[in-house]
Amino acid sequence: MSGFSGDFGVPEEDFRRVISAALSRGASWGELYFEHSVDNRITMEEGIVKEGIKSISMGVGIRAVKGEGTGYAYTEDLSIGKMMQAARTAAAIADSGPGSGPAAIRESRCEDHYPVTSATTEEPLGNKVAWIGEAGEAARLSDPAITKVTVTLADSIRDIQIVTSDGRLLRDRRPMTSFSVSVVAERNGNRQIGVSSGGGRMGPEYFTEIKTPRRHGMEAARQALLLLEAIDAPAGPMELILAPAESGILLHESVGHPLEADFIRKKTSAYTDRLGDLVASELVTVIDDGTVRFDRGAINFDDEGTISSSNVLIEKGVLKAYMHDRISADFFGVPPTGNGRRESYKHPPLPRMTVTYLANGDSDPEEILKSTKKGIYCKSFRGGQVDISNGDFVFVPIEAYMVENGRITAPVKNLSLIGNGPDVLSRVTAVGNDFTFSDGRWTCGKGQQVPVGVGLPTIRISEITVGGSEMR
């Protein structure tokens, strides 16, 4: 049980007093971010269910904003005295006369993009242990070369309540299920790791509707066994084909981060002052959408109370918009886009992605492959990193193959791909019609960790630097 009713037990009168205190030195915006979270994790290792962990945290983050300045304080004690003290600490960001707090507070409602009937957190422990066991067994029985199997089921419920200085109160209950199988395969001193993970803002139906524990187990084993056969990747510039779904990590790194508007406001991003410019091939349309149903990156409203929406960032190659929180939106005089997110009540919000994807094209994926003479084909990824200022990004495949004369051939290992955002996106020469969202396994780190989603159809990039170790 989550053991939490969704009500923080703070009377409306206290909301108004605390917000007024946050605005008492002239801040133009303030909000109270109440959060109660329950996180569970059960891990199986070496065939036994080894440890269960349950974490509960509750607190309120109080923010006062003036211009580009943020004052922030939090407390785990929701008594009026402690909240007033935190509000006065946050208020100190401004230094003029008192601003006015809200006269009344009204509850705002919005569409629910993750209407689960029951959360995994409320599932009987016996069921959870059974799913973990099924996955572990499927992985172990796949092949004698599988020497170790680790299965983790993590689930959480986050109850959020935001009270804003413009008099709105919003409530949300954010469920999450995450499942992961990691295996070690060993043969003649060669050791490889295979991983299969997924989930979303879903309840236990994830395991029946999206992917069963058994399939995760088999998939992790298949990947590790494949990597035992892989050859070392070549070094140098090559053509690249990205398979659907997980490859969306390319977008997340290459243009996602540099279009977060805090970097634009500070003029440190390579995409600063480039609205209206052609920044990618005309085949490229990029969208950030917090409303993708049941997706790991979905949010009904962001962590400063802006209702989620779908935002076109790049349309047919032309840069249309940045991703804003309230501060950057105010700075540029545009409406906030619902991208103000935070890790927890201990953190002030920042512009962050939700579900970032490349829109479907019209090429036949088979044709894209057939028409590629020599290159690399990537199916799954470990993750990536970007340098916001120069646009250079790295992303690291797990499952990748050589492409020779239009056919997928040998699996390759040990490679990073490095490219420059604007360069690489202008080299997209084909976009497939097989768009798919990635299974929910991505967490983005920008000082704070938040869950995100990605998606992509098959695409081809005419040249990217493949960073293997083999000089050919």
Partner 1 sequence: MTGDQMKETAARIVETALSEGAGTAEVDVAENNRFGVTVRNGNIENLIESGSSRIGISVSVDGRKSSATSSDLSEESIKRMIREAVELAAFMDRDEYFGLPDPEELGSAGIDLGIHDEETCSATADRKIGLAMELEKMACALDGRIISDGASLSSGSYSSAFANSIGFCDWYSQTWNSLEISCAAADRPARGPNTGKKQSSYWFSTSCRFSGLEPIESIASKAVERTIGKLGAVKPKTCEVPVIFDETAARRFFGSISSAVNGGNIYRRASFLADRLGEKISSPLVTLVDDPLIQGAPGSRPFDAEGVRTRKTTVVENGILKTWLLDSYQARKLSMRTTGSAGGISNFYMKPGDSSLEEMIAGVDEGLLLTELSGPGANWSNGDFSQGGQGIWISGGKLAYPVNEFTIAGSFLQMLSGISAVADRFEWKGPLSSPAFRIDRMTISGT
Q: Which of residues 139-178 bind partner 1 (CB under 8 A)?
A: 147-148, 150
By C-beta, is 309 or 448 nearer to partner 1? Answer: 448
What part of residues 269-298 is at the interface with partner 1 (CB under 8 A)?
A: 269-274, 277-279
Q: What CA–CA distance (Å, rounded) separates 345 from 343?
A: 7
- The contact pattern for partner 1, residues 97-136, with x = CB under 8 A and - = no contact, is ----------------------------xx--x-------
What is the greatest pairwise CA distance in the chain? 74
Is residue 422 a contact residue for partner 1 (CB under 8 A)?
A: yes
Is residue 187 a contact residue for partner 1 (CB under 8 A)?
A: no
Applying CB under 8 A, which of residues 17, 26, 58, 215 lies at the interface with partner 1?
58
What part of residues 1-30 is at the interface with partner 1 (CB under 8 A)?
A: 3
Is residue 245 a contact residue for partner 1 (CB under 8 A)?
A: no
Is residue 299 a contact residue for partner 1 (CB under 8 A)?
A: no
By C-beta, is 202 or 259 nearer to partner 1? Answer: 259
Binding piece for partner 1, criterion CB under 8 A, among 74-82, 288-296, 299-307, 352-360: 74-82
Applying CB under 8 A, which of residues 2, 19, 30, 71 lies at the interface with partner 1?
71
Is residue 395 a contact residue for partner 1 (CB under 8 A)?
A: yes
For residue 156, count CB atoms less than 10 angstroms from its CB and return exposed for 0-12, middle for 13-18, buried for 19 or more: buried
Token pair for residue 66? 């003036």
Binding piece for partner 1, criterion CB under 8 A, among 103-111, 160-168, 186-194, 454-462: 186-194
* Residues near partner 1 (CB under 8 A), total: 95
User: Minimum distance between the CB of residue 238 and partner 1, rounded to whole angstroms?
Assistant: 10
| Sign of the CA dihedral running 74, 77, 82, 87 | positive
Residue type, 286: V
Residue tagged 């199986």 (tokens): 44
User: Minimum distance between the CB of residue 46 and partner 1, rounded to whole angstroms?
Assistant: 8
User: Minimum distance between the CB of residue 165 and partner 1, rounded to whole angstroms?
Assistant: 18
Is residue 423 a contact residue for partner 1 (CB under 8 A)?
A: yes
| Sign of the CA dihedral running 61, 64, 70, 71 | negative
What part of residues 363-392 is at the interface with partner 1 (CB under 8 A)?
A: 382-392
Is residue 267 a contact residue for partner 1 (CB under 8 A)?
A: yes
Applying CB under 8 A, which of residues 28, 152, 443, 465 lies at the interface with partner 1?
465
User: Minimum distance between the CB of residue 61 and partner 1, rounded to whole angstroms?
Assistant: 9
Residue type, 173: R
Is residue 186 a contact residue for partner 1 (CB under 8 A)?
A: yes
